[in-house]
A and B are shown apart, each in its own frame.
Chain A
Amino acid sequence: MPSCDAIVIGGGINGLAAAGRLALSGAKVTLLETAPELGGMATLAHLCMGLDPRLEKSLALADHGLVWAERNVSSTALSPDGNHIVLKGAFAETVEGSLSAEDRRAWTSLRDTLLRNAALLAPFKAMPPPRLARDHGTPLLDLLRNGLALRRMGRDNLREFLRLMLINVADVLDDELADDRLKGLIAFDTVLGHHAGPRSPNSLLGLYHRISSEVNGQQGAIALPRGGVAAVIAALAGAVRARGVTIQTGARVKAITAEDDRVQSVTLESGEIFTTSLVVSALHPATTLLSLVGAPVLDTGVVRNVRNIKSRGSTAKLTLTLQGKPDFHGADLRSRLVIAPSVRAVEEAFNAVKYGAFSEAPVMELLLPQAFSTEPDLGRHTLSALVQFAPHDLRMGWVKGKPAFLKAIMKQLEHFAPGIGKQVIAADLLTPHDIAQHFGAPGGQWHHAELSVEQMLFLRPGVGLAQYATPVRGLYLASAAMHPGGGVNGSAGWNAAGHALAKGGAA
């Protein structure tokens, strides 16, 4: 029976981040991943919208092969008539294309406000969520410190910060801007990966979440690693291996055994048992607690709280293999292409998932990785698309629904890139249901648990579960469902491991 200091379950970015941090502390760590390859849901991403700098630095990812192909990927708001606008620099520092002077001014001012407000939230991401209780002074002090930072920003800015804390993005955009393309793109970015429409109250937080992150020290930037997001995973895997982490792929965990409320061992499907006193699970909390630990070991109230975690995935991933380069009315393909013609278009696309249907006119973000490559054009192009909105449970059933959804997506694409349909050699569509099945993430939600206000900070992913620790001593949660949420950044895993170490791991 092998034993080790710590077991990390799940080889996605958070599992790897947690394993890395534990290994840095000198622990003997084994990481178990069900799939034959590492990466988990990060393999669905085609861009990096924030990578935790603590991770990048401490694990020296650059030494393990992480190179950025593009540190500031531009975004193009596609227009069906070719009148695109291109947003360049971190979080659209400049806008190219036909945009009124008034909107340019308004955007500069709104961008400043949003970046300033988001920056205030950034420190929270690097700490465990504060607890709201009288007898937990330290995190409360952190909270107060941040509160003082708030006051330092000046009265008017603070008022604006408070007003824009829980507001929907549609109202903010309508208040400040006129251009549908710009508004559509920002609205899309706000709800990308979320179960929300731009009109959903509090939706602006989705945007804050994204632009409070940084890549390469640039707040709000979008970056493309050379070799795609897979290269981030590869570098991370190399880095943690170099620090002594044993990685076992193809190792599906069947059970986490606890005795007297204390973790004892991890059992694989294969029958292999690891005894350990510290388990950090990067699987969805519901999988970890209800399937691997088992509801009977937990108190009923905990089971209720876990089952109340909302995990509605509504983003699909489409990979098209194309014969030749697609033409989006002349848009520069070395850009992130966004189909989101207006706020209303995004909102109406969202309407469908409320009723278990997919959007008839979906909104999406497209990337042609080859456009960023220096390799010679061999004629075949891969188009990677993140498409919204599609429900996990399609009312008509995904067997019938998948071809229909693909048709709807192609129709929308055809609208923006006439003739693209004829270029398609192969199409691979992963619905939220497929994603859930393939990655074992209930609901197929990007962030495991929806990143909505009632599942943020001390409420993430549910009441009593926000501190990475579980009722089983020695078992910690490190999934994207934990604070501060998902994305290719590893913060949740890093925080969780740090918290486990601070609590003395198994003690």
Chain B
Amino acid sequence: MSRYDAIVAGGGHNGLVTACYLARAGLKTLVVEKNDWVGGAAVSRSLHPGFTYSNCSYVSSLLRPEIMRELELPKHGLQILPYEGGAVFMKGGGYLAMYRDHEANRREFARFSPRDAESYDRYSRDVLRHCRFIRPLLLRTPPDPTSFRPRDLSELAFLGRKLFAMPEKDIYAMIRFWTMSISDFLDEYFETPVIKAYLAVSAIIGTALGPMSPGSAYVLLHHYMGDVDGNIGAWGFARGGMGSITQALMASFKAAGGEVRTGSGIEKILVRNGRTTGVALANGDEFTAPLVISNMDVKRTFLKHVEERDLPPAFVKSVKRFKIRGSSGKVNIALDALPRFPALPDDSPCIRGDMHFTDSIERLELAYDDWKAGHFSRDPFLDMMIPTTTDPTMTPPGKHFMSCFVQYAPPKIEGRDWTDADRDAFGQTVLNQIEEYSPGFKKLVLHAEVRTPRELEAEVGLTEGNIFQGELTFDQLLFNRPVPGYAQYRSPIEGLWMCGSSTHPGGGVMGAPGRNAAAEILRSLKKPAAMGEAYAVL
């Protein structure tokens, strides 16, 4: 039985981030991971000979630059590559392109509506304003509004000051934005369905919401508040796949003296007299530590790995009702050659960006209605990318890896578990949709991996296959995340902490929950953390 200062349960990106900061602060830290590899949902897997897949998360924008720099991730091999534009293919053969060049993009929008082309600037400005408010909150622990402790009061005051620093009308505009549906929000700027459809998807990716659900505009912000080298709202690839992020984190962790054990997951978080004493693994190994930090979602952590009798009943009830419905799937494809999309000119940069086939908000919403009824969408939304048009390291030259993020797929089909037949039908629906816009596409498919919420839960451990480790609605954000009273990375069990995306500020390959958790832990130990101030926006 080995002793550690801290054990991180789960080697996802947030767990590794926390582990890095703890190790760097001098704690003898162990990361335990059930899979034979680390990375959680940020992995590069070789599932077909010669091909590297980003088979879960597939693009990067949210990973905090503060973390990349403080943990020296570039030194440990991480390289983030911005990608170019994108396109929405339309029924009937046309398409809407998005270009990085402002003027090319304006003229593209103007093909549909000169007014929309110009409204896009105002729209971008307004969204950026909201980003400026929200970004500084990412790397802070949410205050407890029911507490009178000085730190909570001062954090509340910080929020108040930030809010009231804005002109009155801007405050209202922001609160409206947070609570609106993305559909209603876009209606205030645009008249063209396909433009609205393109912009709306950022508001629903990963959520159990439709574009007409109030609150979805906030989710848009969640996808816009990241950046690639200061370019707010831009997205990029990790060179070598998303696993490069977690590999760099692991290297950074090991360089700081950390230890990693893969191949056997947590069976039990050991608790004695209301405080944790360590962990017992599925293979029977036991490790002791006064600190256990769970990277697993809040439901998995407390309902599967902690005895219910060790927890207050009210807390258990809160955890049980935590909403973590999965809504998405993934189809990962090895391609023999670059597919052609007849609508696109051969030299279009759009093929190197994100491509969609959903050309109206109504189609997105209809796809959501299927999910509500317990089915996967008959006409799903696809966020399709071919990272190998940018990244030369993932496949042999001329071959390609295609990542299709698919929405919506429910955690259960009409209340029952997914079957292999359901999964295959889901995969076919996706391939058929692509084939419709790229005749001959299916013949290029060398291998396809279809992942429904079932696979996501089984492999990565995300309960119900929810990629954010919990839905991003207001009853589960800020001081409500994951559950009221426990929004500061602590749990009812002394020494047991949370650092996954179930905690503030939520999901995405952001690392902020991991860093914030580390900050809280180190503060509780009265140890200095090697963390700087959050970077300014623009």
Point out residues on A near B: beta carbons under 8 Å.
131-134, 151, 155-156, 158-160, 162-168, 171, 175, 196, 199-202, 304, 308, 310, 347-348, 351, 354-355, 452-454, 458-459, 463-464
Flag whether B157 is at the interface (Cβ < 8 A).
no
Partner of A454 from the list B169, B214, B366, B373 (CB cut-off 8 Å) is: B214
Q: Mark B364-404, 1 if CB is under 8 A from A, else 0.
A: 01100100110000000000000000000000000000000
Task: Please report the C-alpha to C-alpha distance between residue A171 and residue B173 in the assembled complex, in whole angstroms.
Answer: 28
Task: Please report the C-alpha to C-alpha distance between residue A463 and residue B176 in the assembled complex, in whole angstroms.
Answer: 9
* A-B pairs with lowest CB-CB distance, top 4: A166-B474, A159-B484, A133-B168, A167-B475
Between-chain CB contacts (< 8 Å), 20 pairs: A132-B175, A133-B168, A133-B171, A155-B146, A159-B484, A165-B475, A166-B215, A166-B473, A167-B475, A168-B473, A171-B321, A175-B321, A200-B214, A201-B473, A202-B214, A354-B212, A354-B362, A355-B366, A454-B175, A459-B176
List A contacts of B175 (CB < 8 A): 132, 454, 459
Q: Are A454 and B171 in contact (CB under 8 A)?
A: no
List A contacts of B373 (CB < 8 A): 348
List A contacts of B169 (CB < 8 A): 463-464
List B contacts of A348 (CB < 8 A): 373
Flag whether B429 is at the interface (Cβ < 8 A).
no
Q: Mark B151-179, 1 if CB is under 8 A from A, else 0.
A: 00000000000011000110111011001
A167 touching B179 in the complex, CB below 8 Å, given contacts A200-B213, A354-B212: no
Q: Are A171 and B484 in contact (CB under 8 A)?
A: no
| Most chain B CB inside 10 Å of its own CB: which residue of A133, A168, A196, A201 | A201
Q: Are B172 and A163 in contact (CB under 8 A)?
A: no
Flag whether B188 is at the interface (Cβ < 8 A).
yes
Partner of A166 from the list B173, B179, B188, B323 (CB cut-off 8 Å) is: B179
Task: Please report the C-alpha to C-alpha distance between residue A239 and residue B527 in the assembled complex, in whole angstroms.
Answer: 72
List B contacts of A158 (CB < 8 A): 145-146
Flag whether B79 is at the interface (Cβ < 8 A).
no
Flag whether B184 is at the interface (Cβ < 8 A).
yes
Flag whether B35 is at the interface (Cβ < 8 A).
no
Chain B, 214-264, CB within 8 A of any chain A CB: 214-216
Flag whether B480 is at the interface (Cβ < 8 A).
yes
Flag whether B51 is at the interface (Cβ < 8 A).
no
Task: Please report the C-alpha to C-alpha distance between residue A64 and residue B213 in the assembled complex, in whole angstroms.
Answer: 45
**Nearest opposing residue in chain A for B485, CB measure:** A159
List B contacts of A196 (CB < 8 A): 214
Task: Please report the C-alpha to C-alpha distance between residue A133 and residue B166 in the assembled complex, in whole angstroms.
Answer: 9
Q: Are A454 and B473 in contact (CB under 8 A)?
A: no
List B contacts of A202 (CB < 8 A): 179, 214-215, 474
Q: Are A159 and B146 in contact (CB under 8 A)?
A: yes
List B contacts of A132 (CB < 8 A): 163-164, 168, 171-172, 175
Q: Are B164 and A162 in contact (CB under 8 A)?
A: no
Q: Are B214 and A163 in contact (CB under 8 A)?
A: no
**Nearest opposing residue in chain B for A156, CB measure:** B314
| Most chain B CB inside 10 Å of its own CB: which residue of A158, A160, A202, A310 | A202
Q: Are A355 and B213 in contact (CB under 8 A)?
A: no
Flag whether B426 is at the interface (Cβ < 8 A).
no
Flag whether B209 is at the interface (Cβ < 8 A).
yes
Flag whether B479 is at the interface (Cβ < 8 A).
yes
Q: Whole-angstrom distance from the CB of B14 to the nearest CB of chain A?
A: 23
Flag whether B59 is at the interface (Cβ < 8 A).
no
A151 touching B146 in the complex, CB below 8 Å, given contacts A201-B474, A454-B175, A463-B176: yes
Q: Mark B452-485, 1 if CB is under 8 A from A, else 0.
A: 0000000000000000000001110001100011
**Nearest opposing residue in chain A for B208, CB measure:** A199
**Nearest opposing residue in chain A for B147, CB measure:** A155
Given contacts A155-B485, A202-B179, A453-B214, could you give 16 more A-B pairs where the C-beta distance is less than 8 Å?
Answer: A133-B168, A151-B146, A162-B146, A166-B179, A171-B323, A175-B321, A200-B213, A304-B188, A308-B188, A354-B212, A452-B179, A452-B214, A454-B180, A454-B184, A454-B214, A459-B175
Task: Please report the C-alpha to C-alpha distance between residue A276 and residue B179 in the assembled complex, in whole angstroms.
Answer: 39
Q: Whole-angstrom distance from the CB of B526 to the nearest CB of chain A?
A: 26
Q: Are A162 and B479 in contact (CB under 8 A)?
A: yes
List B contacts of A134 (CB < 8 A): 164
Q: Whole-angstrom distance from the CB of A166 to the nearest CB of chain B?
A: 4
Q: Whole-angstrom distance from the CB of A350 to the nearest CB of chain B?
A: 10
List A contacts of B366 (CB < 8 A): 355
List A contacts of B484 (CB < 8 A): 159-160, 162-163
Partner of A355 from the list B145, B362, B485 (CB cut-off 8 Å) is: B362
A354 touching B365 in the complex, CB below 8 Å, given contacts A162-B484, A175-B321, A459-B175: yes
Task: Please report the C-alpha to C-alpha distance between residue A310 and residue B184 in the assembled complex, in whole angstroms.
Answer: 9
Q: Whole-angstrom distance from the CB of B328 to the nearest CB of chain A?
A: 18
Q: Are A201 and B480 in contact (CB under 8 A)?
A: no
A201 touching B369 in the complex, CB below 8 Å, given contacts A163-B484, A166-B474, A458-B172: no
List B contacts of A163 (CB < 8 A): 475, 480, 484
Q: Are B146 and A463 in contact (CB under 8 A)?
A: no
Chain B, 300-327, CB within 8 A of any chain A CB: 314, 321, 323
A162 touching B145 in the complex, CB below 8 Å, given contacts A132-B168, A201-B209, A463-B169: yes
Task: Please report the C-alpha to C-alpha distance between residue A159 and residue B173 in the assembled complex, in whole angstroms.
Answer: 26
Q: Are B372 and A454 in contact (CB under 8 A)?
A: no
List A contacts of B474 (CB < 8 A): 165-167, 201-202
List B contacts of A304 (CB < 8 A): 188
**Nearest opposing residue in chain A for B215, CB measure:** A201
Task: Please report the C-alpha to C-alpha distance between residue A162 and residue B184 in the assembled complex, in whole angstroms.
Answer: 25
List B contacts of A166 (CB < 8 A): 179, 215, 473-475
Q: Are A463 and B323 in contact (CB under 8 A)?
A: no
Task: Please report the C-alpha to C-alpha distance between residue A347 and residue B209 in the assembled complex, in whole angstroms.
Answer: 14
List A contacts of B212 (CB < 8 A): 354
Q: Are B369 and A351 in contact (CB under 8 A)?
A: yes
List A contacts of B209 (CB < 8 A): 201
Q: Whole-angstrom distance from the CB of A202 to the nearest CB of chain B?
A: 5
List B contacts of A156 (CB < 8 A): 314
Partner of B172 from the list A162, A175, A463 (CB cut-off 8 Å) is: A463
Partner of B213 from the list A175, A201, A310 (CB cut-off 8 Å) is: A201
Task: Please report the C-alpha to C-alpha distance between residue A56 and residue B377 in the assembled complex, in whole angstroms.
Answer: 52
Task: Please report the C-alpha to C-alpha distance between residue A458 and residue B215 in the assembled complex, in whole angstroms.
Answer: 18
Task: Please report the C-alpha to C-alpha distance between residue A304 and residue B119 in the assembled complex, in whole angstroms.
Answer: 13
| Most chain A CB inside 10 Å of its own CB: which residue of B172, B184, B373 | B172
Task: Please report the C-alpha to C-alpha distance between residue A134 and residue B171 in the assembled complex, in whole angstroms.
Answer: 11
Q: Are B179 and A131 in contact (CB under 8 A)?
A: no
Task: Please report the C-alpha to C-alpha distance between residue A200 and residue B475 in the assembled complex, in whole angstroms.
Answer: 13
List A contacts of B485 (CB < 8 A): 155, 159
**Nearest opposing residue in chain A for B318, CB measure:** A163
**Nearest opposing residue in chain B for A175, CB measure:** B321
**Nearest opposing residue in chain A for B216, CB measure:** A201
**Nearest opposing residue in chain B for A450, CB measure:** B184
List B contacts of A347 (CB < 8 A): 372
Task: Please report the C-alpha to C-alpha distance between residue A133 and residue B164 in the assembled complex, in whole angstroms.
Answer: 6
Task: Please report the C-alpha to C-alpha distance between residue A225 and residue B484 in the assembled complex, in whole angstroms.
Answer: 43
List B contacts of A131 (CB < 8 A): 168
Task: Please report the C-alpha to C-alpha distance between residue A171 and residue B168 in the assembled complex, in whole angstroms.
Answer: 33
Task: Please report the C-alpha to C-alpha distance between residue A168 and residue B372 in the assembled complex, in whole angstroms.
Answer: 14
Chain B, 324-378, CB within 8 A of any chain A CB: 362, 365-366, 369, 372-373
**Nearest opposing residue in chain B for A135, CB measure:** B168
Task: Please report the C-alpha to C-alpha distance between residue A458 and residue B188 in the assembled complex, in whole angstroms.
Answer: 19
Q: Whole-angstrom distance from the CB of A377 to the nearest CB of chain B?
A: 44
Q: Whole-angstrom distance from the CB of A268 to the nearest CB of chain B?
A: 34
Q: Mark B1-19, 1 if CB is under 8 A from A, else 0.
A: 0000000000000000000
Task: Please report the C-alpha to C-alpha distance between residue A159 and residue B144 in the assembled complex, in whole angstroms.
Answer: 9
A463 touching B179 in the complex, CB below 8 Å, given contacts A164-B475, A355-B362, A452-B214: no
List B contacts of A199 (CB < 8 A): 213, 372
